[in-house]
């Protein structure tokens, strides 16, 4: 089954207690953060701690993503070099543009070879948080075979654009559209920017529903208490579940009759539709919305 | 609190630290490590821990193992442990030593 | 040596305590009990109860070496009365007193000096925190301390096992003839449930108040018929230490996760239905369970019978929203609780005896459906320790833990699987406070274990997505992360005797090295 990325939870990289609990908080993916959550004087400390956390802590329940520092800082290249050697699932590359992604791709390939890992096994998610990154997001995703998703960074993006970030998020409407559409076109995940008021659950619900309606497939979280709400929004609706179950039933029927190709309600059902129905049903089962 | 002194052996090539450095914090699940050079050539460890009775021996081993693995001699370590797991202890010792070289 | 039914070895006789009746199980078949007769001095017309000072009261009380004096803990960590009385008695050169306080808090630190000077040589309490239990754990108290439960204490007092010579009852409001309540006055603390048996069964009872009002003081919580004297003092306590402000639900994500799983366990048990009853401690995780439960009850339109225990504003909110028909209140934890207790007739007073005494014609704990409990340690036989820390030092006590666990249909322990580096589940707990037979489920952030005797519950939980493990598996899971802790060393010297609610000895605490 395809990995779910409904939620990606940011966890500060220099906090041992949080690193220990990160896997059990219910997020689909955890982002162990070496960038914004770590002060300049603790970059070395966090890098080593996160490296050892990945080595020793059981993170098998979640996707382990590490946000490294930008490659043009003194910390970024060291982060990639140290962290890639313990083989996280994915690196989250900040201030992503084509050049940076290509550079990370090459560095990863070299490390994978040296360490005897399958080349290409470490994935990349691009953090789109500059105007240039946003406008070239198609090329950014194309820049590496490792690319599995894009995370939209609303705070830095609006800062780069010189506009005000608001709770309602009207100012990132275009960015969300653009990221969602390009990601859909290239079949990678589109992860929304976090909602920063961790005590406003109603606002979070609205913001997440908005992102979902625009085609984003998941949302990052900065507090574990946000996870459940985001999952609830991304949970399939009753209508979606019914339709998915019908698709799978029709498929079984067709298989029994030995038909390779079949249709439902006059529409051809192809592999992507079946896969999507499977994902929806699986999700519905995991969420206890329908019985196994 | 207790003090351990490990005497230097002659078989390995050692690296010396040159300054005082710290890593870690006093928050729960963390350990604060302070390292400083000493002239004796030995590894000296002063350990305080909230789980001294239950895990004092283990913490001591993890610290000493990391120091030896890094090939360091002539080092005094002060450790104040707040219930850190082994991975944290190792990481903090390594950071402190790298900062002190 | 003799053995309890849980396999703990105890001496048959403990110096300073007496003969040991080993714990034989949570419920006994011997059901005929007697209450003791009380010797009292009748008050005749025109007697005056109000005395000019504490000293004058002490003159009249004729306290001599070796007596037992009692206190309640409704003023919690703001209490001035215990310290005030002991200082006065120490000045008078009295020795060998036994202090029977329902609980002891850090504010009672001056007791340590009285222990050293042998003014106090015995202590009886249901819960202790701070410097006093630390001193006891170092072996400074001459006799072993006696640790009871909130229900066991009134049982001991009423049966005569614990004879009180003089009860000193701090009263936020008292009238000139000894009627008292806790809802008015600058030191208001709400319900006075823990003081009732003391007042009823002590040879002499003295009310100490900082709010003396004209007769009668209404409402009357403890009546004039039990009170010998009334003394007014400047202050009985510091309001800051007596009650907290609004009790807030924790924001700790791990605690919230545990609470959510606990609520799912309760839901799966089938106990969430009209007429349900519920109790929880005021601790972070426990209160978060109440919040989760509230959501479920609202969603399903369930109206419960009662919530009980020490009452917080959160439970008051649930009462006011119509989720429970009543509250049973032995002690108020915050200002909202006091206000509700004063104004709402559905917010019902209960004495400690009514709350948890096993030797009555039925305590409130017997009517509990769901109980949420904490634990310092729990072992693979589900025995719980809330008496000593993992270092062996006394830092708590049963309070109502074993009373409610014994009574409730479903007793759930909620706890982190590890605290800092210490795994909570052990082969054997350092001290047994509550026997495993009373504990049904342990909920941790990394898995849930059900007591194997609850086959019915295991069946129900298997049908859910909840991470069900055996307690041994849960223990290994923690030890894989923390390592296996080395056992602490204790000496042979017994520093405290832990009595189960029925008066049998469930364990002893030994001095740590």
- Helix or strand holding residue C31 (H, E): none
Q: What is the ipTM of this complex?
A: 0.91
Q: Least CA distance to A53: which residue of chain C?
A: C481
B39 exposed, middle or buried (CB, 10 Å; 0-12, 13-18, 19+)?
exposed
Which CATH fold topology does A7-234 show? TIM Barrel (3.20.20)
Choose among C309, C252, C253: nearest CA to C281: C309
**Largest alpha-carbon pair distance within chain B?**
39
Tokens of B90: 């190792």
Q: Beta C377-379 vs C384-385: how paired, if at all?
A: antiparallel
Inter-chain touch C390–B54, beta carbons under 8 Å: yes
Residue % of chain A over a pLDDT of 90:
79
Asked whether the beta carbons of C495 and C510 are under 8 A apart, the reply is yes
Asked whether the beta carbons of A26 and A224 are under 8 A apart, the reply is yes
pLDDT reading at B5 higher than 80: no
CA pair distance C121, C100, nearest whole angstrom: 11
Instruction: State the pLDDT at residue C247.
Output: 65
Q: Does B12 touch chain C (CB under 8 A)?
A: no
pLDDT reading at B1 higher than 70: no
CA distances from A25 to B29, C444, C468 (A): 18, 12, 17
Q: Rounded to 10 degrees, what is the CA torsion of C327, C330, C334, C335? A: 80
Within a 13 Å sphere around the CA of C328, how many CA atoms are in the beta-carbon half?
Answer: 23
pLDDT reading at B71 higher than 70: yes
Instruction: State the pLDDT at residue B2.
Output: 55
Q: Give residue-wise pLDDT tens across range C381-400.
A: 999 999 999 889 999 999 99
Q: Which of B29, B86, B95 sits opposite A48 (nearest CB)?
A: B95
Least confident piece of the model among A41-50, A245-254, C202-211: A245-254
Instruction: State the pLDDT at residue A1.
Output: 40
Domain ranges in chain A are 7-234, 238-286
Within a 13 Å sphere around the CA of C331, how many CA atoms are in the beta-carbon half?
Answer: 24
3-state secondary structure C317-353: HHHHCCCEEEEEEEEECEHHHHHHHHHCCCEEECCHH
Asked whether the beta carbons of A24 and A49 are under 8 A apart, the reply is no
Q: Which residues of A touch B59 (CB under 8 A)?
A: none
Q: Which residues of B touch A49 (CB under 8 A)?
A: 87-88, 91-92, 95
Three-state SS for B77? Answer: strand
Instruction: State the pLDDT at residue C325.
Output: 98
Inter-chain touch A26–C257, beta carbons under 8 Å: yes
Q: Beta B21-23 vs B31-37: how paired, if at all?
A: antiparallel
Within a 13 Å sphere around the CA of C343, how many CA atoms are in the beta-carbon half?
Answer: 9
Inter-chain touch B88–A15, beta carbons under 8 Å: no
Q: From chain A, which residues contact B within 8 Å (Cβ)?
A: 15-17, 20, 44-45, 48-49, 51-53, 55-57
Geometric angle at alpha carbon C221, from C215 and C225, rounded to 5°: 65
**Largest alpha-carbon pair distance within chain C?**
73
- Helix or strand holding residue C447 (H, E): strand C447-450
Phi, psi of C374 (to 5 degrees): -100, 180
Q: Which residues of C touch A20 (CB under 8 A)?
A: 481
Inter-chain touch A48–B28, beta carbons under 8 Å: no
| Sheet of strand C68-71: strand arrangement | C50-51, C229-232, C204-209, C166-171, C68-71, C97-101, C120-125, C145-147, C490-499, C505-512
CA pair distance B81, B87, nearest whole angstrom: 13
pLDDT reading at B60 higher than 90: yes
Q: What pLDDT band is residue A226 in, cutting at 50, 70 and 90?
A: very high
Omega cis (within 30) before A129: no
Give the mean pLDDT of A130-144: 97
CA distance from start to end of chain A: 16
Inter-chain touch C256–A224, beta carbons under 8 Å: yes
Phi, psi of C439 (to 5 degrees): -105, 125
CB atoms inside a 10 Å sphere around CB C430: 23
Asked whether the beta carbons of C226 and C199 are under 8 A apart, the reply is yes
Instruction: State the pLDDT at residue A255.
Output: 86
Q: Could you please report the per-residue DSSP string of B33-63? A: EEEEE-SS-SEEEEEEETTHHHHHHHHHHHH
Inter-chain touch B91–A52, beta carbons under 8 Å: yes
CA pair distance C22, C177, nearest whole angstrom: 44
Q: What pLDDT band is residue B41 in, cutting at 50, 70 and 90?
A: confident
- Best interface-test mutation with A: which of B91, B93, B100 has the largest number of A CBs within 10 A? B91
Asked whether the beta carbons of B74 and B84 are under 8 A apart, the reply is no
Subunits with at least 3 CB pairs below 8 A relative to chain B? A, C
Q: What pLDDT band is residue B26 in, cutting at 50, 70 and 90?
A: very high
Question: Which residues 2-41 of A are in CB contact (within 8 Å) with C?
Answer: 20-21, 24-26
- The C-alpha of C420 sits at a distance from chain A's nearest C-alpha, in angstroms, of 8
Q: Rounded to 10 degrees, what is the CA torsion of A23, A29, A31, A32? A: 30
CA pair distance A193, A173, nearest whole angstrom: 12
- The C-alpha of B90 sits at a distance from chain A's nearest C-alpha, in angstroms, of 8
Residues 6+ apart with CB under 8 A from C486: B53, B54, B55, B56, B57
Residues 6+ apart with CB under 8 A from A228: A26
Three-state SS for A211? Answer: helix
Tell me the pTM.
Answer: 0.91
Return the DSSP state at C237: B
Q: What is the CA radius of gyration of chain A?
A: 20
CA distance from start to end of chain C: 22
Beta bridge partners of C232: C209
Residues with pLDDT less than 70, chain C: 245-247
Q: Give residue-wise pLDDT tens across range A227-243.
A: 999 999 998 888 888 99
Inter-chain touch C445–A288, beta carbons under 8 Å: no
Q: Which residues of C touch A57 (CB under 8 A)?
A: 481
* Segments of chain C assigned to CATH 3.40.1080.10: 47-242, 253-488
Inter-chain touch C251–A20, beta carbons under 8 Å: no
Asked whether the beta carbons of C69 and C168 are under 8 A apart, the reply is yes
Which CATH fold topology does C47-242 show? Glutaconate Coenzyme A-transferase (3.40.1080)
Q: Which architecture, in CATH terms, is B2-100?
A: 2-Layer Sandwich (3.30)
Q: Which residues of C touch A223 (CB under 8 A)?
A: 253
Q: Does B98 touch chain A (CB under 8 A)?
A: yes
Instruction: State the pLDDT at residue C246.
Output: 60
CA pair distance C72, C377, nearest whole angstrom: 27
Inter-chain touch B28–A52, beta carbons under 8 Å: no
Q: Which of C256, C465, C481 sits opposite A225 (nearest CB)?
A: C256
Inter-chain touch C257–A223, beta carbons under 8 Å: no
3-state secondary structure C359-385: CCCCCHHHHCCEEEECCCEEECCCCEE
Instruction: State the pLDDT at residue A290.
Output: 77
Give the mean pLDDT of A173-193: 96
C352 exposed, middle or buried (CB, 10 Å; 0-12, 13-18, 19+)?
buried
Q: Which architecture, in CATH terms, is C253-488?
A: 3-Layer(aba) Sandwich (3.40)
Q: Which of A16, A44, A48 sits opposite B85 (nearest CB)?
A: A16
Inter-chain touch A21–C254, beta carbons under 8 Å: yes
pLDDT reading at B85 higher than 80: yes
Residue % of chain A over a pLDDT of 70:
98
Instruction: State the pLDDT at residue A151.
Output: 98
Tokens of C231: 């003394």
Give the mean pLDDT of A9-35: 97
- The C-alpha of B92 sits at a distance from chain A's nearest C-alpha, in angstroms, of 7
CA pair distance C188, C339, nearest whole angstrom: 10
Location of structure tokens 């030593």: B97
CA pair distance A148, A120, nearest whole angstrom: 12
């Amino acid at each position: 089954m395809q990995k779910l990325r409904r939620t990606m939870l940011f966890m500060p990289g220099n906090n041992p207690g949080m690193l220990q609990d990160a896997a059990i908080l219910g997020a689909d993916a955890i982002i162990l953060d070496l960038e914004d959550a770590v002060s300049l004087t603790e970059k070395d400390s966090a890098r080593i701690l996160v490296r050892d956390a990945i080595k020793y802590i059981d993170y098998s329940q979640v996707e382990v993503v590490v946000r490294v520092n930008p490659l043009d800082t003194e910390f970024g290249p060291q982060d990639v070099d140290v962290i890639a050697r313990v083989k996280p699932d994915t690196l989250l590359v900040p201030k992503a543009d084509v050049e940076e992604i290509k550079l990370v791709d090459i560095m990863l390939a070299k490390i994978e070879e040296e360490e005897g890992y399958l080349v290409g096994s470490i994935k990349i998610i691009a953090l789109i948080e500059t105007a240039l990154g946003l406008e070239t997001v198609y090329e950014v995703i194309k820049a590496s075979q490792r690319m599995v998703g894009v995370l939209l960074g609303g705070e830095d993006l609006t800062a780069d654009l010189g506009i005000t970030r608001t709770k309602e998020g009207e100012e990132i409407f275009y960015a969300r559209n653009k990221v969602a559409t390009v990601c859909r076109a290239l079949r990678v995940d589109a992860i929304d920017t976090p909602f920063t008021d961790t005590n406003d659950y109603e606002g979070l619900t609205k913001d997440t529903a908005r992102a979902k309606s625009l085609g984003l497939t998941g949302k990052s979280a900065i507090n574990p208490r946000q996870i459940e709400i985001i999952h609830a929004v991304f949970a399939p609706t009753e209508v979606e579940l019914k339709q998915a179950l019908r698709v799978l039933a029709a498929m079984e029927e067709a298989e029994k009759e030995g038909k390779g190709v079949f249709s439902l309600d006059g529409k051809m059902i192809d592999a992507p539709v079946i896969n999507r129905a499977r994902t929806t049903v699986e999700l519905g089962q995991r969420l206890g919305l329908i019985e196994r | 609190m207790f003090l351990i002194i490990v005497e230097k052996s002659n078989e390995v090539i050692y690296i010396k630290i040159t300054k005082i450095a710290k890593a870690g914090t006093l928050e729960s699940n963390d350990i604060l490590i302070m390292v400083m050079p000493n002239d004796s050539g030995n590894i000296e460890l002063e350990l305080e821990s909230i789980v001294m009775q239950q895990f004092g021996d283990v913490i001591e081993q993890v610290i000493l193992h990391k120091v030896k693995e890094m090939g360091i001699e002539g080092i005094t370590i002060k450790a104040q442990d707040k219930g850190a797991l082994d991975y944290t202890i190792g990481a903090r010792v390594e950071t402190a030593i790298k900062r002190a070289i | 040596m003799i053995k309890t039914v849980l396999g703990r070895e105890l001496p048959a006789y403990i110096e300073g305590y007496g003969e040991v009746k080993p714990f034989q199980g949570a419920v006994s078949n011997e059901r005929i009990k007697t209450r003791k007769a009380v010797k009292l001095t009748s008050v005749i017309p025109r007697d005056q109860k109000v005395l000019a000072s504490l000293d004058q009261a002490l003159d009249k009380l004729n306290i001599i070496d070796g007596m037992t004096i009692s206190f309640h803990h409704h003023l919690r960590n703001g209490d001035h009365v215990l310290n005030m009385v002991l200082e006065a008695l120490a000045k008078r050169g009295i020795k060998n007193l036994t202090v029977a306080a329902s609980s002891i808090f850090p504010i009672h630190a001056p007791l340590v000096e009285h222990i050293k000077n042998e003014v106090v040589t015995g202590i009886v309490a249901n819960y202790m925190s701070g410097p006093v239990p630390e001193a006891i754990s170092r072996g400074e108290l001459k006799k072993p301390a006696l640790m009871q439960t909130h229900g066991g204490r009134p049982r001991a007092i009423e049966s005569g096992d614990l004879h009180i010579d003089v009860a000193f009852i701090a009263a936020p409001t008292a009238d000139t003839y000894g009627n008292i309540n806790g809802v008015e006055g600058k030191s208001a603390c709400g319900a006075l449930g823990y003081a009732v048996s003391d007042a009823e069964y002590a040879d002499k009872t003295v009310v100490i108040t900082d709010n003396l009002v004209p007769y009668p003081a209404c409402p009357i919580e403890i009546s004039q018929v039990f009170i010998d004297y009334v003394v007014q003092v400047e202050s009985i306590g510091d309001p800051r230490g007596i009650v907290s402000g609004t009790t807030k639900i924790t924001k700790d994500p791990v605690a919230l996760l545990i609470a959510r799983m606990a609520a799912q366990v309760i839901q799966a048990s089938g106990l969430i239905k009209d007429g349900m009853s519920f109790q929880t401690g005021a601790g972070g995780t426990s209160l978060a369970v109440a919040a989760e439960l509230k959501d479920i009850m609202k969603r399903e339109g369930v109206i419960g019978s009662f919530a009980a225990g020490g009452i917080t504003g959160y439970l008051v909110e649930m009462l006011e929203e119509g989720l429970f028909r009543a509250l049973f209140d032995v002690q108020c934890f915050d200002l909202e609780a006091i206000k509700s207790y004063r104004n709402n007739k559905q917010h019902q007073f209960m004495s400690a005896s009514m709350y948890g005494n096993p030797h009555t014609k039925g305590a409130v704990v017997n009517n509990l459906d769901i109980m949420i409990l904490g634990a310092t340690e729990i072992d693979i036989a589900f025995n719980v320790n809330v008496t000593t820390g993992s270092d062996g030092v006394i830092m708590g006590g049963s309070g109502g833990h074993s009373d409610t666990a014994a009574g409730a249909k479903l007793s759930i322990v909620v706890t982190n699987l590890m605290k800092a580096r210490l795994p909570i589940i052990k082969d054997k707990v350092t001290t047994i406070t509550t026997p495993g037979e009373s504990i049904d489920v342990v909920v941790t952030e990394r898995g849930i274990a059900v007591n194997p005797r609850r086959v019915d519950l295991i069946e129900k939980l298997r049908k859910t997505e909840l991470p069900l493990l055996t307690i041994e598996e849960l223990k290994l899971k923690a030890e894989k992360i923390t390592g296996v802790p080395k056992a602490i060393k204790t000496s042979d010297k017994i520093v405290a005797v832990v009595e189960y609610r029925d008066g049998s000895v469930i364990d002893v605490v030994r001095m740590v090295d």
